[in-house]
Amino acid sequence: MSSNVPPDADRISVRIDPDLADLIPGYLENRRRDVDVVRGALDQRDYDLIRSVGHKMKGSGGGYGFDPITRIGAVLEAAAVKADPDRIREALRDLSDYLERIDITYEQPD
């Protein structure tokens, strides 16, 4: 199969302050675990747990330089309050996709 699209065309480049370099791998691994936690909670209809996970993501993403994680966390939190499993699944797809596509560069902000 041949494609004119470079293999890295769908990557998301994120610039992170080098002072956070030691924290970022663990932070992202925890977000990957959150995907599994929320899936399990959704199976159990534990919307309170989903709301809590979303709330924490909403509060932490931007602080580490990951604004999309903040936005996805807000969506998860709101969807959990409404007990909206379809919206929760959509947010989980968005989070998984984001986590798979990010490339991090450690450099001082402009």
Each residue's pLDDT tens digit, 39-73: 999 999 999 999 999 999 999 999 999 999 999 99
- The answer to whether the beta carbons of residues 19 and 87 sit under 8 Å apart is no
**Residues 78-87: contacts with CB within 8 Å, 24+ apart?**
78/54, 79/50, 79/54, 80/47, 80/48, 80/50, 80/51, 80/54, 81/47, 81/51, 83/45, 83/47, 85/42
Q: What is the pLDDT of residues 15-47, one digit of tens each?
A: 999 999 999 999 999 999 999 999 999 999 999
**Global model pTM greater than 0.85:** yes
User: Are the C-beta atoms of residues 61 and 67 closer than 8 Å to each other?
Assistant: yes
How far apart are alpha carbons 14 and 79 in whole angstroms? 27
Provide the residue ranges of all domains of the chain, joining segments of one domain with +.
24-105
Which of 4-8, 12-16, 86-90, 103-107: highest mean pLDDT? 86-90
